[in-house]
């Protein structure tokens, strides 16, 4: 089971609907390209078929993912526990540097916020999940193990 915020689930559902809405346009492109004749050397036909395959694969991926996600309900979580959707201030125990991290189900790719997005399935996300304020979490990173103290949940 994968936890996501309600916003993230809505984004996944919206993306799925957009992909499904593309189906008629792709089918029309295939039909138009097929009408042009010889399919062996018809680049438009092959490009449209490739587009159709990628579109259908993404639809299947999103449908499968939506079938197993669970929306994180904040009412069941203690206020001092880190869970999906929480923004936490962490202090690096090596150099006392403090940064904000937001635990998300799926990265948005948006880097202009104050907090660094961390997916729940990443090493940092797994270490943070269910940590409490005051705890020190150990994160196994490619460049070695780092320790962070959970200073506060913002």
> Domain of 139?
74-153
Q: How many domains does the chain contain in total?
A: 2
pTM beyond cutoff 0.85: no
Is the pLDDT higher at 98 or at 7? 98
User: What is the per-residue pLDDT across 45-102, written as a single tens digit (0 to 9) for each?
Assistant: 999 999 999 999 999 999 998 998 888 665 555 677 888 888 899 999 989 899 999 8
69, β-bridge pairs: 2
Mark which of 71, 96, 122 sits at the end of a domain: 71
Domain match, 86 and 50 both: no
CATH no. for residue 144? 3.10.50.30
Domain match, 67 and 123 both: no
Domain match, 144 and 84 both: yes
């Amino acid at each position: 089971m994968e936890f996501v915020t309600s916003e993230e689930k809505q984004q996944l559902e919206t993306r799925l609907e957009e992909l499904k809405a593309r189906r008629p346009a792709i089918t029309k492109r295939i039909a138009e390209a097929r009408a042009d004749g010889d399919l062996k050397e018809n680049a438009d036909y092959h490009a449209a078929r490739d587009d159709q395959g990628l579109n259908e694969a993404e639809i299947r991926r999103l449908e499968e993912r939506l079938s197993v996600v669970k929306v994180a309900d904040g009412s069941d979580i203690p206020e001092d526990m880190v869970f999906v959707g929480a923004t936490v201030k962490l202090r690096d125990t090596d150099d006392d540097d403090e940064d904000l991290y937001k635990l998300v189900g799926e990265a948005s790719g948006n880097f202009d916020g104050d907090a660094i997005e961390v997916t729940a399935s990443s090493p940092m996300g797994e270490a943070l999940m269910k940590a409490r304020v005051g705890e020190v979490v150990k994160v196994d990173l490619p460049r070695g193990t780092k320790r962070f103290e959970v200073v506060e949940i913002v």
